[in-house]
Chains A and B, each alone.
Chain A
Amino acid sequence: MLTLYKQEVYKQIHKIGWWIALGFMILVQITFGIVGKRNPSMFAPSDLVGNSYVGGGLVMLIAIASTASIIAMEFQYGTMKQLLYRQYYRSQVFISKILTALTQLVFLQVVAGLMTVGLSLILFPSYHWATHVDGLTRGLVYLRSLGSDLLVGLLLLSVVILLSTVFKSNAAAIATGLVGYFMAQLASTLMIAMIAWQHWTKFLPFTFLLTNTQIQAPSFSRLTLFSTPMMIGGTLLYTVVFTLIAYLSFRKRSV
């Protein structure tokens, strides 16, 4: 299992595209930091920190694109047979890929977070991480936002993995993943109106794309009609369900 995981990571770190994407994210963060520094009226430091100097959204985009290709590339390159004929169980191969996707998401989130702290220290030395807002220090609020984004990220990635077991090419899986991401963003806002109209629709998976919002603004529960722990539980439950369906489709697939 460890061997398989190492092999997956080995492949990922040898993809130039991945490093370019990471470099791009860092560059965008720096750019927004500098722009914010020059135009204090346009961006307040707290807003910049709030979305990791735009890195927050980029983390998800990169993670989605990369996760989509993690399974689809094996079909595209014709390497799935080599991967699966060995002594390992298919479940092990599948889990090694899930773990790799997870590692990536966490890694990207950590880089975005460190960049955010670093940029703030350099560009906005007067932005004090220990200052209290709503009874928490800014540092903790930021950590909480990273964690809650990560949670919703898991849900999104489980859908991407489900889709990518169906596609046989990188491009199709990545495109669908990204388009799906933007649709989901739209859908999650529409969900609020939908839930107000038909209460039962709160059980649909789209509701749980709002979990990060609710963790950071608990009053959101009046709109989602779920308590925050319920939202967290629901997010995890849907993540597990989608991943299981993905596994079932992967398990008996002819290659």
Chain B
Amino acid sequence: MGTILTVDHLDKSFGAKQVLHGVDFFVEEGHIVALVGPNGAGKSTIMKAILGLIPVDGGGIDIKGQPVSITSHQALRNVGALIEYPGIYPFLSGRQQLQLFANQHNKQTNVDTIIKAMGMGKYIDRPAKSYSLGMKQKLGIAQALVNNPQLVILDEPMNGLDPQAVKDLRDLLRNLASHGTSFLISSHILSELEKLADDVLILNHGQIVKHATMKALEAAGGITYKIAVDNLDQAKAALTMAKSKFSVVDDAITLLDTAPGELNAALYALVNAGVAINTVAQQAHDLEGAFLAMVHDDQKEEA
């Protein structure tokens, strides 16, 4: 299998602010590649550049050997995408939007197939302006997939979907990938793509800080400790004072630095500050922890 998408040393600034710094990566045919980074890392900007929607300041994009730029779109013939949020014409029904964007060839079949695959049959003929957030999101994804593109670019596609819809989407995308479709999917939550992606790109402040397979990343996830406390704010203050590396996940402290003595130091700080500790749990191969550790310092700066 070859490479379908190559992003080569991409630089992009908005005014004086440089948003992308020499972004370099590729997507192989039939692979699902996760592009993960905190809010504002530049995920959507990379995707817009790949789709020739914004001019770039340096570097290039190549889809199946053809360059893509704001003025050169031929290579996008076999690309489907959903960027940032789904655009919806409120005066059309869901089905009409799909028909509008579907290619002439096999139009009816393609539209019916994707409606069925996304489970949208119940409301697809209603005006799209009456859709919930999740329904709109599904419609946006369906639009990206309707023409059976070879490369699909999805920007935070799980937004607004309920757990069942997330699982269904994951199954659908895996199935498409097994038939050769390639995906670039972004998220700000790595674990969301854990069961989906083959490869992972971690983006922080417009730089790819890691490019690895999901398996390697899982294996290297290491150990973290999850500490549940009764007073989160007090605990955060105490740990910040004690210079512990931590993040807050699901209303609990996740201790990121598990070097010898660090757990002791953290617990000591909490006990000293009078914080009641409810549970301490060891978490092995914690993907989210590993991800947070990679982008940790910066997030604290922004907070």
Binding site for B on A (CB under 8 A): 3, 7, 10-11, 14-16, 73-74, 77-82, 84-90, 251-252, 254-255
A51 and B77 CA atoms in complex are apart in Å by 48
Given A10-B100, A89-B71, A252-B70, decide whether A81 and B51 contact each other with a Cβ distance below 8 A: yes
A77 and B88 CA atoms in complex are apart in Å by 6
8 new A-B pairs (CB below 8 Å) besides A14-B92, A255-B53? A11-B91, A77-B89, A78-B87, A81-B53, A81-B83, A81-B87, A85-B73, A251-B71
A193 and B79 CA atoms in complex are apart in Å by 58
For residue B26, CB closer than 8 A to chain A, the reply is no
Closest Cβ–Cβ distance, residue B238 to chain A (whole Å): 44
Flag if B74 contacts A87 (CB, 8 Å): yes
For residue B96, CB closer than 8 A to chain A, the reply is yes
What 0/1 readout, one digit per residue, does chain B (56-76) give for beta carbons within 8 Å of chain A? 000000000000001101111
- Residues of chain A within 8 A of B89, CB atoms compared: 11, 14, 73, 77, 79
- Residues of chain B within 8 A of A10, CB atoms compared: 96, 100
Flag if B87 contacts A79 (CB, 8 Å): yes
For residue B85, CB closer than 8 A to chain A, the reply is yes
**6 shortest interchain CB distances as A-B pairs:** A79-B87, A78-B87, A85-B51, A87-B77, A254-B54, A87-B76
Binding site for A on B (CB under 8 A): 48, 51-55, 70-71, 73-77, 79, 81, 83-92, 96, 100-101, 104, 143
Flag if A87 contacts B55 (CB, 8 Å): no
Flag if A7 contacts B100 (CB, 8 Å): yes
- Residues of chain A within 8 A of B90, CB atoms compared: 77
- Residues of chain A within 8 A of B52, CB atoms compared: 84-85
Flag if A78 contacts B86 (CB, 8 Å): yes
Flag if A90 contacts B91 (CB, 8 Å): no
A255 and B96 CA atoms in complex are apart in Å by 24
Flag if A88 contacts B91 (CB, 8 Å): no
A85 and B154 CA atoms in complex are apart in Å by 13
Given A7-B100, A87-B73, decide whether A82 and B87 contact each other with a Cβ distance below 8 A: yes
Flag if A86 contacts B76 (CB, 8 Å): yes
Given A11-B100, A252-B55, A254-B55, decide whether A85 and B87 contact each other with a Cβ distance below 8 A: no
A84 and B73 CA atoms in complex are apart in Å by 9
Flag if B73 contacts A86 (CB, 8 Å): yes
- Residues of chain A within 8 A of B87, CB atoms compared: 74, 77-82
Measured CB to CB, the nearest residue on chain B to A15 is B91
Which of A82, A86, A251 counts the most chain B CB atoms within 10 A?
Answer: A82
- Residues of chain A within 8 A of B85, CB atoms compared: 78
Closest Cβ–Cβ distance, residue A76 to chain B (whole Å): 10
> What are 15 A-B contacts defined by CB distance under 8 Å?
A10-B96, A14-B92, A73-B89, A79-B87, A80-B87, A81-B48, A81-B51, A82-B81, A82-B143, A85-B76, A86-B73, A87-B73, A87-B74, A89-B73, A251-B71
A149 and B225 CA atoms in complex are apart in Å by 76
- Residues of chain A within 8 A of B77, CB atoms compared: 86-87
- Residues of chain A within 8 A of B73, CB atoms compared: 85-89
A87 and B52 CA atoms in complex are apart in Å by 10
A163 and B118 CA atoms in complex are apart in Å by 39
- Residues of chain B within 8 A of A7, CB atoms compared: 100-101
Measured CB to CB, the nearest residue on chain B to A83 is B87
Closest Cβ–Cβ distance, residue B124 to chain A (whole Å): 15
A15 and B91 CA atoms in complex are apart in Å by 6
- Residues of chain A within 8 A of B48, CB atoms compared: 81, 254-255
Measured CB to CB, the nearest residue on chain B to A251 is B71
A89 and B92 CA atoms in complex are apart in Å by 25
- Residues of chain B within 8 A of A11, CB atoms compared: 89, 91-92, 100
A10 and B104 CA atoms in complex are apart in Å by 14
Which of B51, B76, B83, B91 counts the most chain A CB atoms within 10 A?
Answer: B91
Flag if B88 contacts A90 (CB, 8 Å): no
